[in-house]
Structure 1
Amino acid sequence: MDFAADISDDALDRRLGARLKAARLRAELTLDGLAKRTGVSRAMISRVERGESSPTAALLVRLGSGLGLSLSALLDESAGAGPLARRGDQAVWRDPASGYLRRNVSPYGTGSGFEIVEVVLPPGAQVELDSAAGSPALDQQIWVLDGALEVTLGETVHPLSTGDCLQMHLRGRIAYRNRSATPVRYAVILAARGGSLPDNAA
């Protein structure tokens, strides 16, 4: 697993905050308006926008989906760079809460109808993601590349092993858990149910 480890957290926090604020202003939303839409407090949104807080994956997904932005759109530094995304140029981000490491594999901003993300989840770690209310359902597939992963969707728990692939229509909360003593690596493939991936994909 050759994911980059030398990520400048402070610089990334500031860039994420600036992108979130710009998106909120484009949507003509106040801090209170976004707080109401996403269920995230006004104070927390303000801290994130100022780069004073390191947002977790769960928080970014909720704020991004409330603004019509995918996590990839928030994290990618090379949006619209063309149809080829070389591994060394792919955006990488680590969730400060779980240590989950996420790589945007697909070139972003090409108008493609699907998106591929590579994730490494550390031993014993869990990530829970929940889109803002009203976000559209997505087709999502989880393909385990190496290790064992537990995926919980609603009340259903899916234990997955290397090579397994789980398809789902995703809306709302989903949890990923690594109960093993070694990292698990998996791919997430997202597509809009109507065939065109919207910007609020998680």
Structure 2
Amino acid sequence: MSNMIDSHPLVGQIAARVRTERDRRRWTLAQLAEASGVSQAMISRIERGESSPTAVVLGKLSAAFQLSVSSLLALAEGTPDGAAGETAGLRRAADATEWRDPTTGYRRRQITGPHFPTEIVEIRLPADAQVPYPAAAFAFVRQVVWVLDGRLTFHEGDTVHELGTGDTIELGEPAPCVFANNSGAECRYAVVLTRDQRP
């Protein structure tokens, strides 16, 4: 039976992870709010498990923590490398956990495990949906976006790229980005990222 779920079962895990990351840095709510651009009230609701964060809010919090969104979610899920009785590193599609943005319906599935050096994530962006991320979310990673099905309008700063099935784009210097689906059908794409070792 598939464990594909919407965001609600992960609310508690995300709450605990955000609080843990904040505590590790000895940040107050006010300090995290200033670093992320997310209000103290919203952070407090997320940490208490009273609010399910959107993809935009997760992007801002991840940027403040200098973690990718996928790393933050993987840490929240406590994703193992392999289930009991399986080969280490083997991840069955039926066992995958899918995070769903409660606002846009954007769905995100982690493909690689938490110890793999490169992160690969599958995204399903519904028709007429868009997800913006601040430049800070790209300051510490290198990313390639690969459109698997459909069309993606990708805003990289002031530049707009129209991507179709099979197209890829390697992100340049950090800039505010928007992933937009202006078509009438779902867009499925993969994000491949690695931490940038440059100072």
Q: TM-score, normalised by structure 2?
A: 0.85
- Local SS of the residue matching 1:99: coil
- 1:7 counterpart letter in structure 2: D
2:7–2:101 CA contact under 8 A, matched in 1: no
> 1:20-49, CA deviations, whole angstroms, 9 ceiling, x for partnerless residues?
001111111111111121121111111110
Structure with the larger helix share: 2
User: Where does residue 158 of structure 2 map in the other structure?
Assistant: 155
Deviation sequence 1:123-159 (CA, Å, 0-9, x none): 11111112548x6342211111111111000000000
Aligned to 1:141: 144
Q: Distance in 1 between matches of 2:128 and 2:95?
A: 29
Q: Percent identity?
A: 42
Q: In the TM superposition, what is the alpha-carbon distance from 1:194 to its structure 2 partner?
A: 2.3
Alpha carbons 1:31, 1:46 under 8 Å: kept:
yes
- Equivalent of 1:31 in 21, 29, 38: 29
**What do residues 38-72 of structure 1 show as CA deviations (whole Å, max 9, x unaligned)?**
12111111111001111111101111221233222
SS of the residue 1:186 aligns to: strand
Partner of 2:94: 88
CA contact (8 A) 1:79 1:109 kept: no
- Aligned residue for 1:169, secondary structure, equals coil
TM-score by length of 1: 0.84
CA contact (8 A) 2:18 2:47 kept: yes
Aligned residues: 189
Partner residue, 2:192: 189
Match of 1:200 in 2: none
CA, structure 1 residues 190+60, in 2 after alignment: closer, same or farther (shift >3 Å)?
same
* 2:85 aligned residue: none
CA distance in 2, matches of 1:132, 1:142: 17
Match of 1:64 among 56, 59, 62: 62
For 2:135 and 2:61, the matched residues in 1 are separated by 8
Corresponding position of 1:119: 123
Structure 1 position 99 matched with structure 2 position 102: no
CA contact (8 A) 1:121 1:183 kept: yes
CA contact (8 A) 2:105 2:125 kept: yes
